[in-house]
Amino acid sequence: MDLMKPINISSDKLAPENPFSAVEMGKLWATYVGNSMSHKILQYFLKHVEEEDIKTLLENGLSLTVDFMQTIEKFFKKENFPIPVGFTNEDVNLGAPRLFEDQFYVHYLKYAAKAGLSLYAIAIPLVMREDIREFFIHCNETTTILLGQLNNVLIEKGYIMKPAAIPVPKKVDFIKKENYLNGFFGDIRALHALEITHLYDNIENNITSKALLIGFSQVAKREKVRQFFVRGKAITDREVQQFQDKLHKENLPFPSQIDHLVTESTYSPFSDRIMVFHKVDMFSIKIRSFANSMSLNGRRDIGLMYMKALSEVALFVEDGANILIENGWMEQPPKAIDRDELSSK
């Protein structure tokens, strides 16, 4: 049985012959650059993997990056849009020793795939050209399939603690007292399902981010870059502890740290440029994640916790962007016409 009746619209306004809008241009550009980064990182991971299931996951992830980038290149060439540089073979040393254990790759793929899914899902309702919208739907669907595979492997191999089970409500109820929002004093209620969900999700993301930062700090070539990663690790560690404490107080399970999955290697497989970009990019997505978590929260203590974390992460992202700019590493996204500059000429 069909759930939705079709609407037959044939409009030139939706046709591929129309030029890019700012949304289409920006989202395609960001998707290309992000996947070029993932492509290089996954190529290196595949050089050091032993378990067949995990190797297949890495191969699937790498195939998606190639597919997405090739499709975007076709869009760009048709519009005479310059292909972004993104990241190249100069940003990865495939001959470098192993920096992470196999198990880490599964956590990393989920961490990166969730970030990609966030980008594609936001693009779909904003993109008007039908061919580009279909492309982002394809990105969304294939990444969702990969995430399903990743969750299956994480649970099957015992690599992660399942989210908490809570009682099924006995009846529908409504909130009757303002102390429902309490978090610091008085009668503090138990966490509700959405608060638990986002605390768990942020812990899962941040334990992977922290392990990645440990690895990056071991192999960074420039001292300023190394200190940037050390600072990022400290920020992430504090966040993980705060989120875990909220669940621990209510006797709820949460994912364990995975720092032990980083080897002792100090020989860098990646350029400082790709590593700094990676953490600026992923911390930027963390801002979105924390803001979303805060919007679905009801307790004042948790809201304040996310607000403080947002402020600290935003400063970290700005400092990372400055490192990229100082070294000439930040590629310029497409931008609007600068009318003031034109008039000054």
**100 pairs with which residues across the strands?**
262
> What count of Cα atoms within 13 Å lies in the side-chain half-sphere of residue 152?
9
Higher pLDDT, 175 or 58: 58
Contacts of 200 (CB under 8 A, 6+ apart): 163, 164, 247, 254, 255
The average pLDDT across 299-327 equals: 96
Whole-angstrom Cα distance, residue 145 to residue 32?
20
Q: Residue 257's pLDDT is what?
A: 95
Give Dmax over CA atoms of the chain in angstroms: 71
At 245 the pLDDT is 96
pTM, two decimals, is 0.93
pLDDT at 336: 82
Distance CA 67, CA 36 (A): 11
200 and 254 Cβ atoms separated by less than 8 Å: yes
Cα–Cα distance, 181 to 192 (Å, whole number) = 11
pLDDT at 9: 67
Angle at 244 between CA 202 and CA 228, to 5 degrees: 60
Mean pLDDT of 142-160: 96
Q: Is the dihedral angle over the CA atoms 330, 333, 339, 345 positive or is it negative? A: positive
Percent of the chain whose predicted confidence (pLDDT) is above 90: 83
Percent of the chain whose pLDDT exceeds 70: 97
Which residues sit opposite 270 in a β-bridge? Answer: 92
Query: What gap in Å lies between CA 193 and CA 295, rounded to an integer?
Result: 14
| Helix axes of 102-126 and 272-295: crossing angle, nearest 10 degrees | 60
Give the pLDDT confidence score for residue 265 in this predicted structure.
96
Which of the four pLDDT bands, split at 50, 70 and 90, describes residue 11?
low
Residue 279's closest CA among 21, 17, 41? 41
What is the pLDDT at residue 183? Answer: 75
Mean pLDDT throughout 155-165?
Answer: 91
* Amino acid present at 150: L
Mean pLDDT, the chain, integer? 93
